[in-house]
């Protein structure tokens, strides 16, 4: 099936030009809703937007299958971009699409959405048969997978899921991604005049420094990482600082190692602060859970067979970060993350390739075809 490259490019550019930071996805998702209704999808929005203080919910679209017994599948991408793009200017230079303005491009994740829309359009035009297809186009992915977390899992009508939201080469599939915990730490010391009576104070900054210096951070092992991301504290040069706040994280593809690293960070703050007479309050937030798919799992077998049919080379790879795929797997729907053309994401050098979006559109078409003929 040939992909309409010009239309795919136009779709991407239209989506990219909507300014859609988290909680402000409405223009892109309403445009997409109209687009999908035109090609035969039932479209609705859930109440995730209201729950997170946003302008619109997750877009949930469904097209009933025409082949009884076919494996029902969903495709997913997110509308929100990591930051706002009010002054976005885009240039297309041959195959490369990039921003000329000092902003991100927003290829993360609109170069996931656009190929899904083009693939659905081609399937609609061709009139070929397919199983049930659902689209879960989420909000607020970049601020903690909030849209996927607020989605009512009973609304998922698919048995297998495909999230288009990882980097090239197109053909790569994520089979495992880490669990992540955030640690919100408040250290309380004792204020005092730094010149008159420093011995009466307990410096929360010194306590934080000693704890951090005693901590295992960075790459812990091949599947575990940890970071102190932010630190804020102190009020004036001449006051022994009474309070410091820190936000830390730990990730691992092993739940046991994650638990161990999380406990290590918490205990180190508590112990080192106590030794100086300060107190550490550590709140652990479980952000998302790991998953492990095997090459024998239908969700991967379908995507790998489809990759071959689309002239791509399927390769299984681990991810160092979480995605909506973690949440969907947590809902009990085996889900893999497909590679897209997005490069240098979350930077102002972000760009993507039209040729990669064309590959993704073909891949999506072939996943629909393989799922149609797939029997457990």
Query: Is 80 designated active site?
Result: yes
Stretch that binds Zn ion, among 104-112, 188-196, 351-359, 366-374 (CB under 5 A): 104-112
User: Could you give phi then psi for residue 293, rounded to 5 degrees?
Assistant: -105, 145
Q: Which two tokens stand for residue 274?
A: 């106590």
CB closer to Zn ion, 131 vs 325 = 325
Q: How far apart are CA 338 and CA 260, in angstroms?
A: 30
Give 143 or 190: the residue with its C-beta nearer to Zn ion: 143
96-99/90-93 β-pairing = antiparallel
Buried b (16+ CB within 10 A) or exposed e, 62-95: bbebeeeebbbbbbbbbbbbbeebeebebeeeee
Among 108, 249, 270, 324, binds Zn ion (CB under 5 A): 108
User: Considering beta carbons, is residue 143 or 247 the nearer one to Zn ion?
Assistant: 143
Minimum distance of Zn ion from residue 217's CB (angstroms): 25
Catalytic position from the list 25, 46, 80, 272: 80
Q: How far is the CB of 240 from Zn ion (least distance, A)?
A: 43
The one segment of 42-50, 100-108, 150-158, 308-316 that binds Zn ion by CB under 5 A: 100-108
Least Å distance, CB 309 to Zn ion, is: 26
Which span (157-165, 230-238, 300-308, 368-376) binds Zn ion, by CB under 5 A? 157-165
Using rule CB under 5 A, residue 356 touches Zn ion: no
Q: How many Å apart are CA 224 and CA 209, to the nearest integer? A: 23
Whole-number minimum distance, CB 279 to Zn ion, in Å? 38
Of 46 and 324, nearer to Zn ion (C-beta) is: 324
Residue 140, phi-psi category: left (phi > 0), alpha (psi -120 to 50), beta (remainder):
left
Which residues are CB-contacts of 10 (< 8 A; sequence separation ≥ 6)? none
Distance CA 204, CA 190 (A): 8
Residue identified by tokens 């479209």 is 43
For Zn ion, how many residues bind (rule: CB under 5 A)?
A: 3
Q: CB-based contacts of 365: which residues, under 8 Å, 6+ apart?
A: 1, 3, 119, 122, 123, 310
Asked if 165 is part of the footprint of Zn ion (rule: CB under 5 A), the reply reads yes
- Least spacing, CB of residue 78 vs Zn ion, in Å: 6
Span from 105-113, 171-179, 233-241, 332-340 in contact with Zn ion (CB under 5 A) = 105-113
Nearer to Zn ion, 20 or 261 (CB): 20
Which residues on adjacent β-strands are paired with residue 137?
A: 59, 77
With H, G, I as helix, E, B as strand and everything else as coil, classify residue 122.
helix
Taking the least distance from each CB to Zn ion, the nearer of 169 and 198 is 169
Stretch of residues binding Zn ion (CB under 5 A), selected from 49-57, 164-172, 271-279, 280-288: 164-172
DSSP 276-333: HT-EEEEEEEEEE--EE--TTSHHHHHHHHHHHHTT---EEEE-SS--HHHHHHHTT-
Supply 198's token pair. 């420093």
Number of Cβ within a 10 Å radius of residue 266: 19
Nearer to Zn ion by Cβ, of 109 and 343: the residue is 109
Question: Contacts with Zn ion in 3-42 (CB under 5 A)?
Answer: none
- Shortest distance, CB of residue 147 to Zn ion, whole angstroms? 12
Minimum CB separation from Zn ion for residue 317, in Å?
A: 16
Active-site option among 141, 270, 356, 366: 141
Give yes or no for residue 109 binding Zn ion (CB under 5 A): yes
Active site residues: 80, 141
- Chain residues that interact with Zn ion, rule: CB under 5 A: 108-109, 165
């Amino acid at each position: 099936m040939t992909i309409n490259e010009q239309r795919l490019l136009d779709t991407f550019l239209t989506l990219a030009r909507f300014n859609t930071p988290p909680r402000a996805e409405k223009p892109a998702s309403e445009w997409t809703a109209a687009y999908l209704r035109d090609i035969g999808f039932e479209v609705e929005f859930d109440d995730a937007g209201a729950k997170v203080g946003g302008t619109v919910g997750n877009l949930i679209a469904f097209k009933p299958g025409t082949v009884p017994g076919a494996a029902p599948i969903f495709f997913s991408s997110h509308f929100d971009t990591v930051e706002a793009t009010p002054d976005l200017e885009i240039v297309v230079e041959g195959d490369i699409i990039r921003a000329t303005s000092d902003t991100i491009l927003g290829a993360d994740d609109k170069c996931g959405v656009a190929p899904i829309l083009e693939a659905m359009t081609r399937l609609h035009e061709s009139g070929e048969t397919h199983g049930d297809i659902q689209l879960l186009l989420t909000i607020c992915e970049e601020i903690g997978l909030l849209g996927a977390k607020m989605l009512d899992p009973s609304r998922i009508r698919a048995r297998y899921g495909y999230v288009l939201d990882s980097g090239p080469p197109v053909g790569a599939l994520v089979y495992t991604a880490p669990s992540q915990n955030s640690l919100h730490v408040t250290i309380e010391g004792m204020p005092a005049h730094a010149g008159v009576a420093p011995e009466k104070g307990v410096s929360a900054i010194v306590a934080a420094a000693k704890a951090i210096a005693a901590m295992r951070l960075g790459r812990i092992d091949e599947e575990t990482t940890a970071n102190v991301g932010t630190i804020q504290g102190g009020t004036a040069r001449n006051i022994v600082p009474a309070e410091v706040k820190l936000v830390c994280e730990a990730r691992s593809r092993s739940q046991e190692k994650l638990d161990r690293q999380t406990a290590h960070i918490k205990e180190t703050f508590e112990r080192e602060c106590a030794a100086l007479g300060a107190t550490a309050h550590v709140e652990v937030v479980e952000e998302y859970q790991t998953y492990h798919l095997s090459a024998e799992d239908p969700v991967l077998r379908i995507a790998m067979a489809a990759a071959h049919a689309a002239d791509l080379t399927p390769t299984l790879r681990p991810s160092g970060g979480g995605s909506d795929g973690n949440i969907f797997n947590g809902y009990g729907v085996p889900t893999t993350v497909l590679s897209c053309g997005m490069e240098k994401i979350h930077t102002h050098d972000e760009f993507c390739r039209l040729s990669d979006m064309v590959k993704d559109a073909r891949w999506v078409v072939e996943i629909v075809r393989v799922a149609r003929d797939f029997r457990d």
